[in-house]
């Protein structure tokens, strides 16, 4: 297959940059109709040949490699007056030259081949590196996205240098090639520029979510696109942080990667899905589809050592591949085609290779066979392999990108090769994002002291110090049942098929089917019933659950029919619940010392008192219901009566909680999210739905607080014991609505606002306290504190309230800034 692709490029396209396999000719920029940004990879430098150099060596084609190097040295020019992508030229051409140089040195050291070689490819690489350097001449250190190979970025003759934005991956996928160039040549300037760009991106990460956006302004550092994922626009930034640590041994890269990775797994990873989110509101999905470039991520997770999610995401990608023959450029969360093209991308093959190395599971050899078979059946044409224009129809596009030869055949060959098939030990190399091979020995190469380091001093270095930085090639899961058990539910989720009509169920025969209105996601009996009906359940990060039914997984045809009915009922129930989008409500803490200054955003209920029709709202003191879930009869009804009950989300329907506290005499209820860390600043508005039954019997108001806001209320209650709140459709003006009676011992003061804000305060003294002064309320509170057990619990609690409020306000400011930016 490689020979078919490579020989057709050499016969029909060389010295052009790429082969056009349908018309059997070369693609020369300027002679073919422009394809927009895609053409920025083409620089009239025989791109495919340079990109393929180290593949030739890996596939034991040493003679062809030697001939190819001679061709590059004699034919390729790097000083063309042409504008190219800095990112693509770096990973494909500079990376290709460095990979070729690494292979040439390895062969020369072997004593049989390339004995004539005198670092010519390295000299070309340095020449190219110097031509890319002008792009880094920005105040931020982030490179311009494009550069003129002859004239740089300044001046009218460059026809570039006016851009303001670049993608995160474009600026963050430089360090491997530039550091290797510095280590090979001894010139630190390249590594220094690449490190500066990475440092700037790190500084500009969103500090709350620790995520980066997709597009950034190279001058100001402002995020232009604030969506964040692991696919197009960001992918190789994360890849290069981890691989830079492996190649260079600098702990700082690993520390940054680990911080990013934790956030990816917290917000973006919803196994088996990887969904983009907003960096300021990371619990809010930014889109409902995934792009094919994220297929590299399971491979990166293997390098990280996090195998379980790698298996799960890879299995999802494999099932999508089997469904459409290839991974579409983008596909939806229910695995339908979003963008139908497939330019023969290698990322899925890359992850397949890494997972096979980690598990030794022959299942991944079968996945590799699927890739091979589909390439030969659907993409192979007389003059090479053609990209798919539409995976649904099987139509072709007249392109064969250089990465097909640079990456696809490397990973497939390595997947199937035995040790004796390989001409050298690949464990001594790191793969760049273009699969070029850079030797790990570069980590000990001399370099300038001008480059900051977080590593051991040079004189302490020896090979044993670096054993731990290499990927672990031993089998991590010798039991093949482990990955199989992870894959099976994902296979059924992707491979949705309509069940055959099931036989009629006799009334009263067997167990009655589960009804959607009765379903509880945390009821083990219900989950077992779902399993029997072929329904699988996926917990999403924001507390919701996703249900997928696959009839062939049901225990019987009758159970499958019940599953179909259950899914239909659930869809109807969901549509009923979503038909009316209510605005958010407000919970205002009106008691001392808040006096209405703290307003918490609350989610409404689709039942109970409609606060938008109440001028005064509902005002009362809060108390925690027992049981806290509110899912059974309230045991502390004496305390709940006449109060607003606090409840925890979960274990039963919201309407059931409302009925229980209403029966106990509560005047209102507040449900607090059990999903730790959730906040109205970062998550979409939550609306509490009914239970599918008539809810007219519920007459009290019920509001929902996310965990962060709920914690503020709970901490206030812990510290001040009596906390009064106002439930309303919007916050009331403190000046006119909060004429608050403040009861302190035997003295009562009436304030139109908080005393410390200058509001008028009048003191009414009782006969026994005629000499009381304005400090008495504070003294009474102090005496109350002294009655508490020893310890500084109150001061600690007070501090925690302040911290919570400060944290909450900081999040709110970030949220408001994001809203402003979007407007």
Annotated binding site for Ca(2+): 433
The tokens describing 676, both together, are: 């730790």
Cis peptide before 627 (omega within 30 of 0): yes
Residue 531 in contact with residue 576, Cβ under 8 Å?
no
Tokens 């098939």 identify what position? 421
Which residues, including other chains, have CB under 8 Å from residue 812's CB and lie 6 or more apart? Answer: 681
Cα 169 from chain centroid (whole Å): 14
Instruction: Give the separation between CA 15 and CA 26, rounded to whole angstroms.
Output: 8
- CA distances to 75, 344, 379, 511, 676 from 400, rounded to whole Å, are 22, 8, 10, 58, 48
Q: Which residues pair with residue 764 across a beta bridge?
A: 748
- CA distances to 173, 534, 583, 822 from 241, rounded to whole Å, are 9, 41, 43, 30
Burial of 364 (0-12, 13-18, 19+ CB in 10 A): buried
Question: Among 632, 635, 693, which residue's Cα sits nearest to residue 657?
Answer: 632
Angle subtended at Cα 427 by Cα 424 and Cα 433, rounded to the nearest 5 degrees? 105
The tokens describing 54, both together, are: 């180290």
Residue 212 in contact with residue 164, Cβ under 8 Å?
no
Other Cβ atoms closer than 10 A to 82: 18
Instruction: Give the separation between CA 487 and CA 492, rounded to whole angstroms.
Output: 9
Which residue ranges make up the annotated binding site?
433
Long-range contacts formed by 547-553: CB under 8 A, 24+ apart: 548/492, 548/493, 548/496, 549/496, 550/492, 550/493, 550/495, 550/496, 550/497, 551/497, 551/498, 551/499, 551/500, 552/492, 552/497, 552/499, 553/492
DSSP letters spanning 757-774: GT--EEEE--GGGTT--T
Which residues, including other chains, have CB under 8 Å from residue 766's CB and lie 6 or more apart? Answer: 746, 747
Other Cβ atoms closer than 10 A to 572: 13
Which residues, including other chains, have CB under 8 Å from residue 178's CB and lie 6 or more apart? Answer: 90, 129, 190, 191, 193, 194
Output the 3-class SS for 401-420: CHHHHHHHHHHHHHHHCCHH
**DSSP classification of residue 731:** P
Q: Which residues are catalytic?
A: 88, 235, 329, 347
Dihedral sign for Cα 284, 289, 293, 297, please: positive
Question: Among 665, 656, 783, 646, which residue's Cα sits nearest to residue 713?
Answer: 646
Residue 277 in contact with residue 285, Cβ under 8 Å?
yes
Angle subtended at Cα 517 by Cα 514 and Cα 519, rounded to the nearest 5 degrees? 55
Cα 529 from chain centroid (whole Å): 32
Question: Among 389, 368, 387, which residue's Cα sits nearest to residue 379?
Answer: 387
The tokens describing 381, both together, are: 């044409």
Cα 24 from chain centroid (whole Å): 41
**DSSP classification of residue 293:** G
Instruction: Give the separation between CA 741 and CA 764, rounded to whole angstroms.
Output: 11
Tokens 């059990």 identify what position? 674
């Amino acid at each position: 297959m490689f020979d078919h692709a490579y020989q057709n490029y050499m016969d029909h396209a060389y010295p052009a940059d790429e082969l056009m396999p349908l018309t059997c000719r070369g693609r020369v920029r300027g002679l073919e109709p422009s394809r927009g940004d895609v053409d920025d990879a083409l620089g009239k430098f025989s791109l495919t040949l340079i990109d393929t150099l180290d593949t030739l060596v890996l596939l034991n084609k040493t003679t062809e490699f030697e001939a190819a190097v001679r061709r590059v040295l004699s034919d390729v020019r790097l000083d063309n007056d042409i504008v190219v992508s800095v990112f693509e030229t770096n990973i494909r051409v500079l990376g290709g030259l460095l990979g070729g140089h690494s292979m040439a040195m390895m062969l020369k050291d072997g004593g049989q081949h390339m004995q004539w070689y005198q670092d010519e490819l390295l000299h070309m690489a340095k020449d190219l590196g110097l031509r890319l350097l002008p792009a880094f001449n920005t105040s931020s250190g982030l490179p311009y996205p494009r550069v003129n190979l002859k004239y740089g970025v300044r001046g009218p003759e460059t026809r570039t240098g006016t851009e303001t934005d670049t993608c995160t991956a474009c600026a963050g996928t430089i360090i491997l090639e530039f550091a290797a160039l510095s280590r090979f040549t001894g010139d630190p300037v390249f590594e220094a520029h690449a490190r500066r760009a990475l440092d700037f991106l790190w500084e500009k990460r969103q500090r709350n979510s620790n995520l980066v956006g997709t597009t950034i302004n190279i001058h100001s550092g402002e995020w232009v696109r604030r969506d964040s994922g692991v696919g197009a626009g960001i992918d190789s930034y994360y890849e290069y942080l981890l691989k830079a640590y492996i190649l260079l041994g600098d702990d700082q890269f690993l520390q940054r990667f680990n911080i990013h990775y934790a956030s990816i797994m917290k917000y973006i990873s919803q196994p088996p899905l990887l969904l983009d989110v907003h960096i300021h509101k990371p619990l809010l999905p930014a889109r409902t589809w995934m792009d094919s470039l994220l297929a590299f991520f399971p491979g990166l997770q293997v390098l990280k050592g996090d195998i379980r999610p790698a298996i799960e995401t890879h299995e999802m990608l494999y099932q999508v591949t089997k469904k459409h023959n290839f991974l579409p450029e983008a596909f939806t969360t229910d695995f339908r085609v979003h963008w139908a093209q497939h330019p023969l991308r290698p990322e899925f093959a890359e992850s397949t290779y890494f997972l096979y190395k980690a598990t030794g599971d022959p299942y991944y050899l079968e996945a590799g066979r699927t890739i091979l078979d589909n390439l030969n059946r659907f993409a192979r044409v007389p003059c090479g392999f053609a990209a798919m224009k539409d995976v649904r129809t099987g139509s072709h596009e007249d392109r064969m990108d250089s990465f097909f030869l640079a990456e696809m055949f490397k990973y497939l060959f390595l997947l199937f090769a035995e040790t004796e098939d390989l001409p050298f030990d690949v464990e001594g190399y790191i793969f760049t994002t273009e699969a070029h091979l850079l030797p790990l020995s570069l980590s000990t190469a001399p370099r300038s002291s001008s480059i900051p380091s977080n590593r051991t001093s040079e004189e302490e270095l020896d090979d044993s110090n670096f054993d731990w930085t290499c990927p672990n090639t031993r089998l991590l899961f010798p039991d093949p049942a482990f990955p199989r058990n992870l894959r099976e539910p994902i296979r059924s989720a992707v491979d949705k098929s309509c069940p055959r009509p099931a036989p009629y169920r006799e009334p009263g025969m067997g167990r009655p089917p589960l009804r959607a209105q009765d379903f509880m996601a945390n009821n083990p009996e219900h989950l077992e019933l779902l399993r029997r009906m072929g329904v699988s359940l996926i917990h999403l990060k924001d507390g919701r659950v996703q249900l997928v039914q696959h009839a062939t997984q049901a225990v019987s045809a009758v159970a499958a029919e019940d599953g179909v009915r259950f899914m239909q009922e659930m869809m109807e129930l969901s549509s009923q619940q979503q038909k009316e989008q209510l605005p958010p409500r407000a919970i205002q803490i009106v008691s001392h010392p808040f006096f209405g200054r703290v307003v918490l955003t609350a989610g409404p209920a689709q039942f109970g008192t409609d606060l938008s029709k109440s001028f005064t709202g509902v005002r009362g003191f809060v108390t925690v219901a027992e049981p806290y879930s509110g899912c059974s009869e309230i045991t502390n009804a004496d305390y709940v009566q006449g109060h607003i009950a606090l409840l925890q989300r979960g274990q039963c329907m919201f309407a059931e909680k409302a009925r229980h506290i209403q029966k106990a005499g509560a005047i209102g209820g507040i449900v607090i999210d059990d999903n730790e860390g959730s906040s109205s600043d970062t998550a979409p508005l939550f609306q509490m739905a009914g239970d599918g039954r008539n809810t007219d019997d519920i007459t009290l108001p019920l509001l929902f607080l996310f965990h962060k806001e709920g914690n503020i209320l709970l901490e206030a209650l812990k510290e001040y014991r009596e906390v009064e709140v106002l439930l309303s459709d919007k916050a009331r003006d403190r000046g006119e609505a909060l004429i608050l009676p403040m009861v302190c011992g035997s003295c009562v003061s009436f304030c139109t606002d908080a005393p410390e804000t200058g509001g008028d305060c009048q003191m009414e003294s009782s006969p026994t306290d005629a000499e009381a002064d304005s400090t008495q309320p504070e003294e009474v509170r102090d005496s109350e504190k002294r009655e508490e057990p020893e310890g500084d619990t109150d001061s600690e609690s007070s501090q925690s309230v302040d911290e919570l409020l400060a944290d909450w306000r900081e999040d709110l400011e970030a949220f408001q800034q994001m809203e402003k930016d979007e407007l």
